[in-house]
Structure 1
Amino acid sequence: MEKGGNVIIVKRKNVIAGGHHGGAWKVAYADFVTAMMAFFLLMWLLSTTDEKTKLGLADYFSPTIPISDSRSGGDAPFEGDSVLSQDTLKRDETGQKGDPAKDSLAGSKADGSDASLYDVEQALLGGSGDAMQADPMLEHIRTRVTDEGLIVEVFDTPGSPLFAADGAVPNPIFGRLVGMIGRVLSRTENPVAITGNLAKGDTGRGGPDPWRLSSDRAQLARASLVAAGVDDARLARVTGKADRSPATEDPHDSRNRRIEITLLRHFPE
């Protein structure tokens, strides 16, 4: 275009719709891929997990053993009432919802099912796999569910014996451990059996009779359980086995110096 001998050049810029709008879609896509990976990893883990662990996972999201929002002691399971600080379960032994005012850990009509015994086991162990690290006292305890019921073993550890050597004089740790177990078992109604055991060579010549010593220690455990709230009428038997029932291959192992407290599956006829 010419005007007065001058040339005017007009440039027009073409704008194409749908151009570059940033990288927000990449962030959304990455989140989606991450979520899908987590989902499939969860599915794989569930497919390789045993039934007991699945029950534990289910209880984590819908707990069958309520835990109080407040603590009366320290953070560890044995420092206060933080373990099982309420009296009831959300479900009865059949898995059905019950009246919280009437339910208990293994209620009066409990059939000793594995589910109910695992509930008690989780209460004893603080409901967490990390509980042992949180409270070293748990190193004194092992639990297992058998045909007879839930067996709770309380035993010596190196440098931390339950009793004075060759005697039935308990160390303070014994009272704390059995007292904690008693507070949990007091919320059940199943019968309880107690057995005292010794390690090989615990009593030598001139020492106390091993049968009497193991029985005396079992009687001390009975007294501690009753003091913690377990009704004496629930005690089905209190026995001593001396060193005749070792828990390890080495009969001299301090692990064999133990008290077994069994929450029985069935009520005696």
Structure 2
Amino acid sequence: MNAKNEKPRPIIIKRKKIIAGGHHGGAWKVAYADFVTAMMAFFMLMWLLNATTEKQRSGLADYFSPTTAIIRASGGGDGALGGRSMTADASQIEMGRGGVTDTNANGSAAEDGELKALEAAILGKGGESLLDEEELRHVAVRLTDEGLVIEFFDLPGSPLFEGDVPTELLERLFASMGPELRRVPNALAVESFVAAVPVVRREPQLWERSSARAHGARSILPDVGVSDARVVRVTGHADRRPAATDPLSDRNNRLEIIVLRDRVAPR
């Protein structure tokens, strides 16, 4: 056939139509990754709510709040300071890490000096503390008009009393501070506080329990060389004046030994 009589062959162009998000698309992967991330954040939040105390949760909330300039509550740590800052006196005293708070403490300079020296010996401000680090977590000290308040308190899993009977922990705390308490002649007061109980389990025994614990603590003072004659007041306060926001908190189970001002007890 003559080439001049041949018809030109048609040019066929095949174009593949791409459908976004089809079977082999990647959009669903992005959505799935977002879902997994959200679920991980949700389970992390649930774990934090279950594994932290109320104060630690408050500290975590403050940390993520852009309007909070200074965080005075817990940051959620579990070390010796419990996540608290060493620069905040209120936090240090609450956790038993030192610092005397002068709450309108109006006394003579000499008397204030003696009481602050006692506080320094207990908390180790001038060198080695009378207490080891674990014991210090149970102790707070503050200076008031009444005198030097040495506070001992429960921590989760580490109580000061089993029922109304002092534990070995409380006996060790008293034994460690006995020499310093013997060094000053001031009269002493013993006061006890207990945590509230849920309304459904409430029993009218909080006053009796706090009084029994106060007398139990007084009874071991002679064992550490502190004369019973120096104790001029033993008081149980039930669940009044809680130290923690949550009235059921273990932190409200506490005992106070007050080195009173201007009152010298008989030896």
Give TM class, smaller chain: 0.5 to 0.7
Structure-1 residue corresponding to 2:147: 149
Tell whether 2:190 aligns with 1:194: yes
Structure-2 residue corresponding to 1:267: 263
Any unmatched runs of 5+ in structure 2?
1-107
Counting only pairs closer than 5 Å after superposition, residues 47-86 of structure 1 correspond to structure 2 as none
- Among residues 229, 249, 253, which one is paired with 1:253 in the alignment? 249
From the two aligned structures, give the one with the greater helix fraction.
2
Q: Identity over aligned residues, as a percent? A: 43
- Among residues 213, 219, 232, which one is paired with 1:217 in the alignment? 213
Judged with a 3 Å threshold, the aligned counterparts in structure 2 of structure 1 residues 139 and 203 are, in CA distance, closer, same or farther, namely farther
- TM-score of the two chains, using structure 2 as the length reference: 0.53
Q: Which has the larger radius of gyration?
A: 2
Q: Equivalent residue of 2:183, what SS?
A: coil
Any unmatched runs of 5+ in structure 1?
1-109
Q: How far, CA to CA, are the matches of 1:186 and 1:131 in structure 2?
A: 17
Q: How far, CA to CA, are the matches of 2:130 and 2:185 in structure 1?
A: 27
Judged with a 3 Å threshold, the aligned counterparts in structure 2 of structure 1 residues 268 and 122 are, in CA distance, closer, same or farther, namely closer
Compute the RMSD of aligned alpha carbons.
3.0
* C-alpha contact 2:186 2:264 (8 A) present in aligned 1: no
**TM-aligned CA deviation for residue 157 of structure 1:** 0.9
Amino acid at match of 2:152: V
**TM-aligned CA deviation for residue 173 of structure 1:** 0.6
Judged with a 3 Å threshold, the aligned counterparts in structure 2 of structure 1 residues 133 and 228 are, in CA distance, closer, same or farther, namely closer
**TM-aligned CA deviation for residue 205 of structure 1:** 4.6
Tell whether 2:133 aligns with 1:135: yes
Structure-2 residue corresponding to 1:22: none
* C-alpha contact 2:122 2:131 (8 A) present in aligned 1: no
- Cα shift readout 1:142-167 (whole Å, capped 9, x = no counterpart): 00001110000000012211112xx2
Q: Which runs of 4+ in 1 moved over 6 A?
A: none
* C-alpha contact 1:132 1:138 (8 A) present in aligned 2: no
Tell whether 2:121 aligns with 1:126: no
Structure-2 residue corresponding to 1:168: 164
Tell whether 2:114 aligns with 1:116: yes
* C-alpha contact 1:111 1:265 (8 A) present in aligned 2: no
Structure-1 residue corresponding to 2:228: 232
**TM-aligned CA deviation for residue 123 of structure 1:** 1.3
What is the count of residue pairs matched by the alignment? 159
- TM-score of the two chains, using structure 1 as the length reference: 0.53
Judged with a 3 Å threshold, the aligned counterparts in structure 2 of structure 1 residues 133 and 229 are, in CA distance, closer, same or farther, namely closer
Q: Equivalent residue of 1:159, what SS?
A: coil
Q: How far, CA to CA, are the matches of 1:130 and 1:159 in structure 2?
A: 27
Q: How far, CA to CA, are the matches of 1:111 and 1:206 in structure 2?
A: 46
- Among residues 178, 182, 194, which one is paired with 1:182 in the alignment? 178
Amino acid at match of 2:120: Q
**TM-aligned CA deviation for residue 234 of structure 1:** 1.0
Q: How far, CA to CA, are the matches of 1:130 and 1:182 in structure 2?
A: 16
Q: How far, CA to CA, are the matches of 2:121 and 2:129 in structure 1?
A: 11
